[in-house]
């Protein structure tokens, strides 16, 4: 009987130990599931935070682009207003030169009346014919002197100078402080060729426009195919053949003659 009780006790102990092992394994499985759930939750949180950061970066980039565009528009407006202000200042500084009235008719000298010499009273018995001849000679002499003086004044008269309004000298263009090339110069495919597109430089003071140039097969001289104003940022080119390849270049042009070119790229085919 004692042996039977011991074997029964051992069986009970073994069952209890087995139950404990099962409970421990169940607890471990539950703990593993909890850890796995926590890891999945952490991954989801990490993905959400990364997505939020990406969205925030996109918003920051968009706001930065909008600010840059607003600054560029403001600078263009200032550049357009500057020439008008300069013209107004020049008009205010200019003073109308007084006109000099110059007579074109030569001055005619006034005739000088020569007083006839007093003639001594004729003696008694002088003939009246002699007196008449003397008076006539004096009158003729006075007429000859007056005609000679008139001829001399006519010969010595100089033509009146003509006054012509001289054109004002053009002022040289003021040097531009900052010169910058266009950025993000790319080519987009169109129906009949390509559409070239670029972004205006930040240095817009004195910017007058852009030169669009091409070069065949990367050799020879650049050829300007278009000159566009500063507010135009695209240019269409037509494909004329499939032979060889073509290089493209866009250059910023400033009022003082300076220029800056964007990065050059090539496209297969012939374009013009």
Which pLDDT score is estimated for 98? 46
Query: Per DSSP, what are the bridge partners of residue 194?
Result: 189, 237
Which pLDDT score is estimated for 260? 94
| Domain residue spans of the chain | 1-93, 183-271
The CA distance from 263 to 251, in Å, is 9
Among the listed residues 181, 231, 229, the one whose alpha carbon sits nearest the alpha carbon of residue 75: 231
Which pLDDT score is estimated for 46? 80
Q: For the segment 93-104, what is each residue's pLDDT rounded down to a tens digit?
A: 454 444 544 444
Name the token pair of 66.
């909008």
Which pLDDT score is estimated for 155? 52
Which pLDDT score is estimated for 90? 59
Which pLDDT score is estimated for 102? 45
Phi, psi torsion values for 162, nearest 5 degrees: -95, 135
Q: Which CATH class is domain 183-271?
A: mainly beta
Contact, 174 vs 79, CB < 8 A?
Answer: no
Average pLDDT, consecutive stretches of 10 residues, N- to C-terminus, the chain (272 residues): 75 87 88 87 83 84 85 76 60 48 48 47 57 78 71 51 48 81 94 95 93 93 95 94 94 93 94 88
* 21: alpha, beta or left? (left if phi > 0; alpha if psi -120 to 50): alpha
User: 261, exposed or middle or buried, with CB in 10 Å at 0-12, 13-18, 19+?
Assistant: middle
Helix (H, G, I), strand (E, B) or coil at 220: coil
Q: In terms of DSSP H, where are the helices of the chain?
A: 2-93, 128-156
% of the chain exceeding 90 in pLDDT: 31
């Amino acid at each position: 009987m004692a042996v039977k009780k011991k074997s029964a006790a051992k069986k009970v102990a073994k069952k209890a130990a087995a139950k404990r092992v099962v409970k421990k394994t169940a607890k471990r499985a539950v703990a593993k599931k909890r850890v796995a759930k926590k890891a999945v939750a952490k991954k989801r949180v990490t993905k959400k935070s990364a997505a939020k950061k990406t969205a925030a970066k996109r918003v920051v980039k968009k706001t930065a682009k909008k600010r840059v565009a607003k600054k560029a528009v403001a600078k263009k407006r200032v550049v357009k207003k500057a020439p008008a202000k300069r013209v107004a200042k020049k008009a205010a500084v200019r003073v109308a030169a007084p006109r000099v009235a110059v007579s074109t008719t030569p001055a005619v000298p006034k005739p000088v009346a020569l007083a006839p010499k007093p003639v001594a009273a004729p003696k008694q018995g002088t003939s009246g014919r002699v007196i008449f001849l003397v008076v006539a000679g004096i009158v003729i002499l006075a007429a000859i002197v007056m005609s000679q003086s008139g001829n001399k004044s006519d010969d010595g008269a100089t033509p009146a100078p003509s006054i012509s309004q001289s054109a004002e000298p053009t002022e040289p263009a003021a040097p531009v402080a900052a010169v910058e090339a266009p950025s993000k110069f790319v080519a987009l495919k169109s129906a009949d060729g390509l559409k070239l597109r670029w972004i205006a430089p930040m240095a817009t003071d004195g910017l007058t426009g852009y030169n669009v140039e091409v070069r065949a097969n990367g050799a020879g001289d650049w050829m300007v195919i278009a000159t566009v104003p500063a507010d135009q940022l695209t240019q269409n080119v037509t494909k004329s053949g499939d032979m060889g390849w073509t290089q493209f270049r866009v250059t910023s042009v400033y009022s003082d003659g300076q220029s800056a070119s964007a990065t050059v790229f090539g496209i297969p085919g012939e374009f013009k």
